[in-house]
Structure 1
Amino acid sequence: MSRTQALLLTLLAMIAFAGNSLLCRLALQRTGIDPASFTSIRIISGALALWLIVRLRGGTGGAKSASGNWPSALALFAYAAAFSFSYVSLPAGTGALLLFGAVQATMIGYGLWTGERLGRRQTLGLIAACCGLVGLLLPGLSAPPLHGAVLMLAAGVAWGIYSLRGKGSGDPTRVTAGNFLRAALFTAGLSAAMLPWASLDSSGVGYAVSSGALTSGVGYAVWYTALRELRATSAATVQLSVPVIAALGGIVFLGEPITQRLLVASAAILGGVALVVAGKQSVK
């Protein structure tokens, strides 16, 4: 694969990841679908898309690598459910920023817990990111709804756990397909529990299918293909673009405002995380 192809695939993957936020917010803001139904349709659509991609590619590895596992599927389900319910109240850009910050915090925290140590510049970056997150969540007229913010932070922690569990587990597309299939069972239980509040319409279902099949299923497949050509630090740093793309999409497609608080918090969080992931950690 050429460098140009890798960069193009990376850009498409980042747009897909930001698209998840936009599609979820569009569905829950402008259609009648409920968050539990959106979650179930998204996961089932993603499972079908990934299964088809694995079949078309032939995949690599044995049956074990294709099956996934229940703990990872539970983390995937927790991410998807909290993600959907949080976007009932959160703007697209704010949600993506909170999600990204929580994912990176979880993975950085795990690294510190397992013996990695940060340099001075990385420590300053971590402090800046934490201050940005606190500043974003402090009470005020422009603060995001606390309930939605907590749910999105939980979604980020769940996705961070899912990502950590997936390291070195075989062909990532096959493993993700297996985990999506297993997570579909959890979403069926969620939908059954929330049946009295269920609500569907054609537009909402369309957004959910697009989120599952395209920006999740195809998006992950594209990302894993591009990931083979990226260094670890490059892969972590390029994801800084996702909240920015989501915020721009929120302005264009949803008419969402960009507040001064969000701009300052974004600069602190994204800049701080960039300092952390761009440096080299040492093991004590």
Structure 2
Amino acid sequence: MSPTDRRARLDGRAVVLVVVCCALWGLNQVATKLALAEIPPLMQAAMRSAGAALLVAAWARWRGIRLFEHDGTACAGLAMGLLFALEFGCIFIGLQHTAASRMVVFIYLAPFVVALGMPFVAHDERLRPAQLAGLAAAFAGVVWAFAEGLHAPTAGSRKWLGDALGVAAAVIWGLTTLTLRGSRLASAAPEKTLLWQLAVSALALAAASWAGGETLVAVPGPGALWPLAFQIVVVTFASYLVWFWLLRHYPATRLSAFTLLTPVFGLLAGVLILGEPATARLLVALAAVCAGIALVNRA
């Protein structure tokens, strides 16, 4: 596939790549939770972005990809980096006030933001009623899978604030995708798009960590460093690079529908790695998500 080639539908390669990305993002939640025992959240996010930014720069240099030429992407790149940092700021602050299970449900409103906003950016990506119904079915499956945790004890009476920040994070995530597709970054190299997002978010998250008074109690051990390395190398560098390549070549609305698989993969990772219980709700959710994605990607 040439750098400028765009497909109207997802082919087999795109489906495999986006499902692998979703599986890695679901596993990332477990890695983040393991590292949080020794590394504060905003500091961890800043370290992840900074480490992956160095890898992207080294990868681009090795492949001879020019990242710093003037091509009119600076404004969009700064916007994407700040949106990425703001999204994670909303998530981490929101988790102080609401349950993680509620937060996950609200975050995955993002595909709806993309589906509603993409017709204003790319008129050829308008979803038909059947496809919108498929998106709704997939989201209903996600809600069903996580409904068991919605009544768990939360962090106090300001649960509404955490919920609102979760919705805000979803809107920001959707806006990040729309910013990419509606700007000159849509035709830029995926490495350049990713570097903008990582470098800017690393600085913003580091500043937020410092302002919030986060510190390391002790030097992190292997139990935190290995999960952090997984986040940097596999998730933030490799999978995000693949994701931006997919967004450059395939319809963003259909790709976004697959991101609803991520919390289901996260639940599976929790069962297999953290020993969390598996329930019939997970099987129902998997069926609903698969059916919804099939509707969204119908010819």
TM-score range (shorter-chain normalised) is 0.7 to 0.9
Match of 1:187 among 205, 218, 222: 205
What is the DSSP-based 3-state SS (H/G/I as helix, E as strand, rest coil) of the residue aligned with 2:109?
A: helix
- Classify 1:142/1:155 alpha carbon distance in 2 versus 1 (closer, same or farther; 3 Å): closer
Which residue of structure 1 lines up, in the alignment, with residue 100 of structure 2? 90
Distance 2:12 2:137 in 1: 33
Percentage of matched positions with identical amino acids: 25
- Classify 1:151/1:5 alpha carbon distance in 2 versus 1 (closer, same or farther; 3 Å): same
- Aligned counterparts, 1:218-229, within 5 A: 218-225=238-245
User: What amino acid is the match of 1:181?
Assistant: A
CA contact (8 A) 2:14 2:246 kept: yes
Which residue of structure 1 lines up, in the alignment, with residue 169 of structure 2? 155
Distance 2:133 2:21 in 1: 29
User: What amino acid is the match of 1:111?
Assistant: M
Distance 1:205 1:154 in 2: 30
Q: Which runs of 5+ in 1 are unaligned?
A: none
Which residue of structure 2 lines up, in the alignment, with residue 36 of structure 1? 42
- Aligned counterparts, 1:1-284, within 5 A: 9-10=17-18, 12-28=20-36, 31-59=37-65, 63-64=69-70, 69-84=77-92, 89-90=99-100, 98-99=106-107, 101-111=108-118, 118-128=127-137, 142-143=150-151, 145=154, 150-167=164-181, 168-169=184-185, 170-195=188-213, 199=217, 201-202=220-221, 203-225=223-245, 235-259=255-279, 268=288, 271-272=291-292, 275=295, 277-279=296-298
CA contact (8 A) 1:6 1:229 kept: no
Q: CA deviation at 1:254?
A: 1.3
Paired residues in the alignment total 272
Distance 1:57 1:195 in 2: 39
Distance 1:131 1:214 in 2: 29
Distance 1:46 1:208 in 2: 11
Q: Which runs of 5+ in 2 are unaligned?
A: 2-10
- Classify 1:269/1:4 alpha carbon distance in 2 versus 1 (closer, same or farther; 3 Å): closer
Q: CA deviation at 1:17?
A: 2.3
CA contact (8 A) 1:39 1:81 kept: no
Q: CA deviation at 1:27?
A: 2.2
Distance 2:44 2:67 in 1: 32
After TM superposition, the structure 1 stretch with the greater mean CA deviation from structure 2, 140-149 or 151-160, is 140-149
Q: CA deviation at 1:227?
A: 6.2
Distance 1:229 1:118 in 2: 18
User: What amino acid is the match of 2:169?
Assistant: A
Q: Deviations over 1:167-193 (max 9, x none)?
A: 251112212102211112211211111
Distance 1:112 1:189 in 2: 35
What is the DSSP-based 3-state SS (H/G/I as helix, E as strand, rest coil) of the residue aligned with 2:277?
A: coil
RMSD of equivalent CA atoms? 3.9
Q: Deviations over 1:63-95 (max 9, x none)?
A: 23575632211111022333445667526xx76
Distance 1:102 1:243 in 2: 12
Q: Deviations over 1:113-159 (max 9, x none)?
A: 66776534234335545656776787x76546556655444333222
